[in-house]
Amino acid sequence: MQSTYSGPSTPTRPATPTQATRSTATANRANNNNNSPTRKQLKEITEVNRYINYDPEKEPIKAFLRIKPNTDGEMVVDDPYIQVIDQVEVSMTPPENSNAYRTRHRASERYRFTKVFNEDTDQATFYNETTLTLVKDVLQGENALIFAYGVTNSGKTYTVMGKQPQSEHAGLLPRTMNTIFNSIGGNKSEAKIQDNLSITADKVDIDTNYEYGIWVSFNEIYNEQVYDLLSTAITTTAASRQKRTQLQLKYEQKTGNKYVADTTLIKIKSMAEADAIMRLGQQNRQVFSTLMNQTSSRSHSIFTIHVVRCPVDKNDFVIEDPYYASLSKLSIVDLAGSERYRNTNSSGQRLKEAGNINKSLMVLGQCMEILRLNQIKNDMGKNPTMVPFRHSKLTELFKSTFEGEGKAAIIVNVNPHDTGYDENSHVMKFAAVAKDITTWKQTHHKIDLQNVESDAKRLRAGAAQRRYQQQQQEPSDDEDDTNNVLFVNGLIAQLDELREKWMEAETRSTTMESDIREKISREMYSQFKEMQNKCLLALQGENEMMDLQLQKKGYSDEALLDKLQKRQTSILEELTHLRTKFDEFDVTKNNLLDKITKLEQENQKERDRSNYLQQQLDQHSTEKEEEEEDDDDDQSLTKENDDPKAQDAFNTFLSLRKQLRKSIFKKEELCKDADIIMNQVEEFENVTFKLAKETKMGKLLKLIAQEEFEKDPFQIKSRAMRLFKRYAQLPTSYESLSKNTFSNMAEEDTTDIQGLIAENAKLKQRIKILNNGQKRLKNAFEKTKWTMTMIPPPTEDDDISMIDGDDEQENNGNKNSQQSQHVQIVNEDSSLKRQTTDESPSFGDEEDESYESDIAEILGQMKRQKRRRKLRAR
Ligand SMILES: Nc1ncnc2c1ncn2[C@@H]1O[C@H](COP(=O)(O)OP(=O)(O)OP(=O)(O)O)[C@@H](O)[C@H]1O
């Protein structure tokens, strides 16, 4: 049966007189005014344009209104606010309880549609007058989109899917599938479907020069996420829903349009299969209850039919070349309820759902509005505004359709018995905007199949068979039916073949892919193996080299070890030798120490003897001097004093002076006799200055007063000072005495002194020799001690002759670090050699110097005593 659908076309319909008049006037005003038009003006311009500037290449979005009948159990609105004026127009009068009544106006509003379907419209009529033409377009290779818009419980799902029994209440989706299979599948298919579904079999003319393949997908947009309703893994519990795989929208490389990536795409072979698929999707669809409607759908469902067409040439060859094949799509969308969430008492998840539903619907409305404005702007030569398609998944997915790639139809469902005026007014306005949008008609270039040369060809089986039968038999009325059956069978066989080919192609591609993968993996594996072998070979070579090197190294190590062991042995021998030497040196050292002790004792004895001799020498010298002085004094006094009394006094006083001098300067300490003599001097009467001077008593007293005594128990020193002062205060009338007493020393005395000096010199020489011996012994002792306790650091002059020639060659550059042990031993040895062989001492000058200083001190003492004597003489 051929469709008789010829639905009303909005562009051809005249506007109502009032609208047309008002719109034209407004448009004229807008044209005369260069300022930007207001929204109202734009709307009016659109109305005018729709009729005046009709473009046959453009296709406006069709908008169908379906008013839901009052079904059982629904609340009945007292005052119906929708009145159907005619087939394309309704008016809505705001009731008193509506917001519109309170805030804006009370006058009724009129809304025009492509077609208005009242409550009595059955499903078949609605389908035939709204969808059938789009199905035809899809089978001819065009894209189409139908979406049902309306508040909850307005009849959207009923319109799209229908309800049981399907024979009467099948929605436009099953009817579409039925039409498609009727159209492309032939009579047999039709009969089968009728038995099962009891849907009136609509059929559209198709281009028989094509073979058709039908594929379907069923998706859901819920909370701005896209899901697959045909996924086998779908579960129905709310918790598991959260884990459903979210699908992504991706760009088609060829067209740049968005599609749902990785969604299940099922090839449908019959209406029965299509029905099963639809029911599966419906079961999986999200349905949540709200306070307003227990069966309210909270998601948008999208059922897409993909029609693939492959051309058939005049020789009944199906050209399976993708270049000639075409794909067209028909999407049927059951939108979620468009009510506003504040009216639903929603909360939590429901509120989020409502927000998202309304967001996508709001974006859909915005897109429609801007598309419409852009059309007007385009007519006025202005730049278009960006359409916010990407603000929601729904608009993003159907962007291409709204932009002109295919036809679109909106089914607006209203339920005036249950839904409030304000909600339905909103829906009406949306539809009013949508219907003003035009999309471009798609032009299909006829493919010239006469000279198609393609490798992807196969003979259409059914057609060949039919042709053969036609040639064999003359046609008759009965035969016509038979031929039809044959034709249908041929078509079915052809489709089966097509399907098989399809499957083959798929299998081939899958096999090829797997083969390629396997080949690549084999190739990679072989390359990997080759690389592995190479690496292994290289490693083996390296390993062998290493082994060789290790062997060589092992050999040289052994040699080195042997050498080291030899060296160790030689070092041990050296060590033993040195230890023996050390023991010997130890004995020598002890002997030397004994010798040193003896020499020191001898030295001390010699020193004592030297001191004794020095004392003797001093005493002798002093006595000589005194005798000399005494002789000299006596001689002078004899010459100068003729008076006997004076002479006596002089002699007595002189005697006292001599006694006093002897007593004081010959003894270490001032003893009793000095005190007695001093008393006599103090008590001596009539002492004159002259007497004190001539007897040199004053001088002696002065010397005594200046001298330092170890002990002075009788205060000789202070008493001498007092006497000296007393004598000094006496009147002076004497002549000075002769001065030099030493120059007249007797010759024999000088001889004695010379003898003593000579003896002293001999003693000195002997002391020096002893000191030298002592010093050498000390030196030897110190060396021995140094060897035992500390080893000095090596010097450049140190002997390293113990290191053999080979070692020197091996150890060039780091001698010091490796030979310290040898150097230490050699040092010790060489030092010991030096100690035993050197005649002249290398140190020990301090001892010499101390000895010399001792001698110098002795001589100094002698000189001092001599000087003192001279002073005394003076
Ligand atoms: N034209 C009609 N004739 C008979 N029954 C109808 C009609 N329209 C709707 N119904 C019935 O009304 C009820 C609500 O309709 P439906 O479920 O299609 O509303 P809806 O808009 O899809 O709601 P939701 O947005 O919640 O999915 C259903 O039981 C449906 O069968």
Q: Look over the chain and give the mean of its residue pLDDT values, rounded to a whole number.
A: 70
Exposure of 261 in the CB half-sphere (CA atoms within 13 A) = 10
CA of 157 to the centre of ligand 1 (A): 6
Looking at the CA of residue 296, tell me the nearest atom of ligand 1. 26
Binding residues for ATP: 150-157
Q: Averaged over 766-789, what is the pLDDT?
A: 70
Protein residue whose Cα sits closest to atom 12 of ligand 1? 155
Closest-CA residue, ligand 1 atom 23, reads 153
- Compute the distance from residue 175 Cα to the ligand 1 centre, in Å: 17
Most confident by average pLDDT, 24-33, 81-90, 489-498: 81-90
CA-closest residue to ligand 1 atom 8: 155
Give whole-number Cα distances, 730 to 683, 691, 789, in Å.
16, 10, 76
Ligand 1 pocket residue status of 99, Cβ below 6 Å = no
Can you give the pTM of this predicted structure? 0.50
Q: Locate 58 and state its tokens.
A: 């453009």
Does the CB atom of residue 157 touch ligand 1 within 6 A?
Answer: yes
Q: ipTM exceeding 0.95?
A: yes
Continuous H helices in 225-336: 238-241, 271-284
How much distance in Å is there from the Cα of 491 to the middle of ligand 1? Answer: 38
Task: Give the Å distance between the CA of 162 and the centre of ligand 1.
Answer: 8
Integer Cα distance of 135 and 122 in angstroms: 19
The pLDDT of residue 56 is above 60: no
Distance 100 CA to ligand 1 centre (A): 26
Q: Is 293 in the pocket of ligand 1 (CB under 6 A)?
A: yes
Atom of ligand 1 nearest to the CA of 159: 18
Phi/psi region, residue 406 (left: phi>0; alpha: psi -120 to 50; beta: rest), is left
Q: What pLDDT shows up at residue 122?
A: 92
Enumerate domains of the chain plus CATH numbers: 10-440 (3.40.850.10), 641-745 (1.20.930), 753-873 (no CATH)
Q: How far apart (Å, rounded) are the C-alpha atoms in residues 646 and 637? A: 10
CA of 153 to the centre of ligand 1 (A): 5
Of 328-342, 524-538, 750-764, the range with the lowest mean pLDDT is: 750-764
> Does residue 152 line the site of ligand 1, with CB under 6 A?
yes
Ligand 1 proximity of 156 Cβ (cutoff 6 Å): yes
Ligand 1: centre distance to CA 161 (Å) = 10
State residue 529's pLDDT score.
82
> Among 344-353, 675-684, 791-800, which range has the highest average pLDDT?
675-684
Ligand 1, atom 16, residue with closest C-alpha: 155
Q: Is the pLDDT of residue 843 over 60?
A: no
- Report which ligand 1 atom has the smallest distance to the Cα of 163: 31
- Which of 158, 340, 415 gets mutated to test ligand 1 (max ligand atoms within 8 A of its CB)? 158
Report the candidate in 327, 218, 225 with the shortest Cα–Cα distance to residue 263. Answer: 218
Q: Is 163 in the pocket of ligand 1 (CB under 6 A)?
A: yes
Per-residue pLDDT for 78 more than 80? no
Least confident of 110-124, 162-176, 491-505, 681-695: 491-505
Confidence of residue 745 (pLDDT cuts 50, 70, 90): very low
Q: How far apart are CA 391 and CA 389, in angstroms?
A: 6
Q: How far is the CA of 652 from the centre of ligand 1 (A)?
A: 177
* DSSP track, 175-231: HHHHHHHHHHH-HHHHHHHHHHH-----B----TTEEEEEEEEEEEEETTEEEETT-
- Average pLDDT rounded to a whole number, residues 251-277: 83
Residue from 68, 130, 147, 411 whose mutation best tests the ligand 1 pocket (most atoms within 8 A of CB) = 68
Q: Region 84-92: what's the mean pLDDT?
A: 89
